[in-house]
Chains A and B, each alone.
Chain A
Amino acid sequence: MSSPAPQETRPAGRPLSPFMIGPYYRPQLTSMLSIVHRLTGVGLSVGTVLLVGWLVALASGPWAYAAFATHVAAWYGQVLLLGWSWALLYHLCNGIRHLAWDLGYGYSIPAVYRSGYLMVACSLLLTAAAWGVAYVL
């Protein structure tokens, strides 16, 4: 009658989430966008270290700021900044999509695909707009 205690150790060969996509599940737009939402979320969280580093450098005076700005101006700094800005705007756009779902809208399969493509387009347009503002203005 007694139910077994929850197992702390996994039996050998038992897969850990996420394991369905790839061997068992064809990658789809929906699942990929969902994974990218998590990846951008984690990436943005790691990126906050650099955001705080920028503010601390700004508060520490011109020399500290110049040291930080050199890395921002370098090619790897610009690549990181481009990635960070797109990740933020992707997470923002897909976040709005999630909020609409939370309110009960847009659950039909065509609507999910439509909002998915629209969201990706919006994130790219907003990123282009931000970099346009930065470089043109």
Chain B
Amino acid sequence: MSSKSAASLRSPLGRARGYGSAKEGVQTYLAERISAVALVPLALWFVFSVAQLPMLSYPAVRHWAEAPSVAVMLSLFLAVLFYHSSLGVKVVVEDYVAGEGKKLVMLLFVKFAHAALAAAGIFAVLKIALGAP
């Protein structure tokens, strides 16, 4: 009975066109949450590692960043951070930017900016670690 009434709620045209759920989006939903789970230890590690550094001392910060384990953690942190950030900012743009043209431009800008910042950050980390004497 219930399945029959549920089926009848859908218009024949809608069914014919395959309307209904978008059939996608689960991947994005999971990606946002999986990256969030990964960021819990990574962000805590970052905050409390940097807090222990004499931030204004170039040799001390440099020495810290040159350690292979730190370089790996920093690269991971940056990669997951920018991935998570791009997913989050995308949703904010989709929610608040009105007009398809403006929205498209903003989405492209957000995507490119995230990619550029992630590349610059990870390259800097690798340059420090690989350039270490």
Chain A residues proximal to chain B, CB less than 8 Å:
8, 10, 16-17, 38, 41-42, 44-45, 48-49, 51-52, 55-56, 58-59, 62, 65-66, 69, 72-73, 85, 88-89, 92, 95-96, 98-99, 102, 126, 129-131, 133-134, 137
Contact = CB atoms under 8 A, between A and B. Distances in A.
Nearest to B82: A48
Nearest to A37: B88
B39 interface: yes
Contacts, number: 94
Contact of A92 (B39, B51, B52): B39
Contact of A89 (B37, B47, B89, B96): B47
B92 A58 contact: no
Given A59-B123, A88-B47, A130-B47, 6 more contacts: A48-B121, A56-B124, A58-B65, A89-B47, A102-B33, A134-B52
B40 interface: yes
B99 A17 contact: no
Contact of B121 (A16, A17, A38, A55): A55
B39 A59 contact: no
Interface in B31-87: 33, 36-37, 39-40, 43-44, 47-48, 51-52, 55-56, 58, 61-62, 65, 74, 78, 81-82, 85
A62 B33 contact: no
Contacts of A45: 85, 88-89
Contacts of A88: 43, 47
B120 to A, nearest CB: 5
Interface residues of B, number: 39
7 contacts: A16-B96, A52-B120, A56-B120, A95-B39, A102-B33, A129-B48, A133-B52
A133 B51 CA distance: 6
Interface of B: 33, 36-37, 39-40, 43-44, 47-48, 51-52, 55-56, 58, 61-62, 65, 74, 78, 81-82, 85, 88-89, 92, 95-96, 98-100, 117, 120-121, 123-125, 127-128, 131
